[in-house]
C-alpha cells in the first residue's frame, strides 16, 4: 500500500518532547511524499467553582479547555514550513472523553495515522486503542522520549510474525516501507518451534520476495517472558528502526505495548512501531 495521505492527531500541550515528536512525524510524512492532515483537539471539561457563594445560588459549571490546540498547531506549522510538506490543519472542540471515537472516524479516510506517544499516559493509550481497533487503518507510533535525537529512517525493520490475521494485515500495510528498507527480519516469538511455525515464516519470506523484498526469518524463544519484552530485547540487540506488528484484543495489546511497557530502545533510542488490526 502506498502511503500518500497521513493523519496526525494532536492532543495535550506543546511541551519540548511533543514539539520534537511533531517534527519527526512531519518528517516521516515527507519521507512518504504524503500530504499530512493535523487535527488538534481542544477537550472541554466542566469545572465547578471551588468557592460556594451561597447555597441558594445555582452556578453553572465553568467550561475549561484541557489542551492547547493552537500551541500544537503552531509547532506543526513550524515543522511543515521547515521542509515544505503538503499539509492541512484543523481544530476540533470536543467534550472530554470523546477524542478516541472521533479521531478513529477521521482516520478511516487516511492511509496511515502517525501518533506522538507519551509513555504511561492514560489518554494516549485510549486514543491509540481507538485508532487501532476502530479506524480500520494502520498506525505508526512515534515515542516522545528522546524524539529530538531520533532519525527518521526505517532502514532496519523487524516484522513480528505469528501467522495471525492482524499480523498479515500489518505486513500488507507496511509493504511500501519494507520495500525501502535495507534489512528486513521476520521474527516469531515462541517456545513451541513447530513445523507449522517454521513453514509459516519461510512462506512469509517467499511472499515478500515476490514484492522485491529480501527478508530473513528467525524463531526466538520466549522462555517464560512476555512477547512484549522479547520484542523489546530483539529491537535493542539488533539496532532496529521500526517494529511492524499486528494488534489483537485489548488485553493482548496491553501485554505487548502497554502492560509490558516495552521501551523498544535501539542503542539508547526508542524505535518507531507500526501496528494494524
Q: Taking each helix axis from N to C terminus, what angle separates 122-134 and 99-107, rounded to the nearest 10 degrees?
A: 40
* pLDDT at position 226: 86
Helix extents (H) in the chain: 16-31, 69-83, 99-107, 122-134, 165-173, 175-180, 195-209, 227-238, 250-253
The greatest distance separating any two alpha carbons of the chain, rounded to the nearest whole angstrom, comes to 76
Residue 87 scores a pLDDT above 90 = yes
Instruction: Check residues 66 and 248 and name the one with the higher pLDDT.
Output: 248
* pLDDT at position 49: 54
Predicted TM-score (pTM) of this structure: 0.87
Ordered by where they begin, the domains of the chain are 5-147 (3.40.50.620), 156-276 (3.40.50.620)
Residue 269 scores a pLDDT above 90 = no
Residue 78 scores a pLDDT above 70 = yes
Percent of the chain that is helix, strand, coil (3-state, to 5): 40, 25, 35
* pLDDT at position 107: 98
Query: Quick one: average pLDDT of 198-203?
Result: 98
Q: Categorize the per-residue pLDDT at 53 as very low, low, confident or very high, splitting at 50, 70 and 90.
A: low
Residue 62 scores a pLDDT above 60 = no
Dump pLDDT digits (tens) for 21-46: 999 999 999 999 999 999 999 987 65
Dump pLDDT digits (tens) for 114-169: 999 887 778 888 999 999 999 999 999 998 877 877 778 899 999 999 999 999 99
Q: Cβ of 182: how many Cβ atoms within 10 Å?
A: 10
* pLDDT at position 260: 42
Closest-CA residue to 30 (of 111, 108, 84, 106) = 84
Amino acid at each position: 500500500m502506498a502511503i500518500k495521505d497521513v493523519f496526525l492527531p494532536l492532543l495535550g500541550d506543546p511541551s519540548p518532547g511533543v514539539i520534537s515528536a511533531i517534527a519527526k512525524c512531519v518528517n516521516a510524512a515527507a519521507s512518504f511524499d504524503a500530504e499530512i492532515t493535523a487535527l488538534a483537539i481542544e477537550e472541554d471539561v466542566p469545572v465547578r467553582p471551588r468557592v460556594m457563594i451561597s447555597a441558594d445560588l445555582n452556578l453553572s459549571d465553568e467550561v475549561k479547555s484541557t489542551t492547547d490546540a493552537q500551541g500544537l498547531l503552531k509547532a506543526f506549522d513550524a515543522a511543515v514550513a521547515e521542509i515544505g510538506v503538503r499539509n492541512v490543519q484543523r481544530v476540533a472542540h470536543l467534550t472530554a472523553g470523546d477524542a478516541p471515537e472521533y479521531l478513529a472516524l477521521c482516520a478511516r479516510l487516511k492511509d496511515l495515522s502517525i501518533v506522538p506517544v507519551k509513555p504511561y499516559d492514560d489518554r494516549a493509550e485510549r486514543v491509540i486503542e481507538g485508532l487501532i481497533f476502530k479506524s480500520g487503518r494502520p498506525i505508526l507510533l512515534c515515542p516522545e522520549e528522546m524524539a529530538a535525537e531520533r532519525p527518521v529512517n526505517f532502514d532496519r525493520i523487524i516484522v513480528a510474525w505469528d501467522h495471525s490475521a492482524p499480523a498479515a494485515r500489518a505486513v500488507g500495510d507496511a509493504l511500501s516501507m519494507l520495500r525501502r528498507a535495507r534489512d528486513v527480519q521476520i521474527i516469531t516469538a515462541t517456545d513451541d518451534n513447530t513445523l507449522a511455525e517454521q513453514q509459516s515464516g519461510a512462506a512469509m519470506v517467499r511472499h515478500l520476495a515476490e514484492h522485491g523484498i529480501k527478508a530473513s526469518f528467525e524463531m526466538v524463544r520466549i522462555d517464560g517472558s512476555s512477547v512484549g519484552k522479547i520484542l523489546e530485547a530483539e529491537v535493542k540487540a539488533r539496532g532496529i528502526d521500526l517494529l511492524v506488528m499486528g494488534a489483537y484484543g485489548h488485553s493482548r495489546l496491553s501485554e505487548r505495548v502497554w502492560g509490558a511497557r516495552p521501551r523498544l530502545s535501539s542503542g539508547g533510542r526508542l524505535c518507531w512501531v507500526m501496528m494494524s488490526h
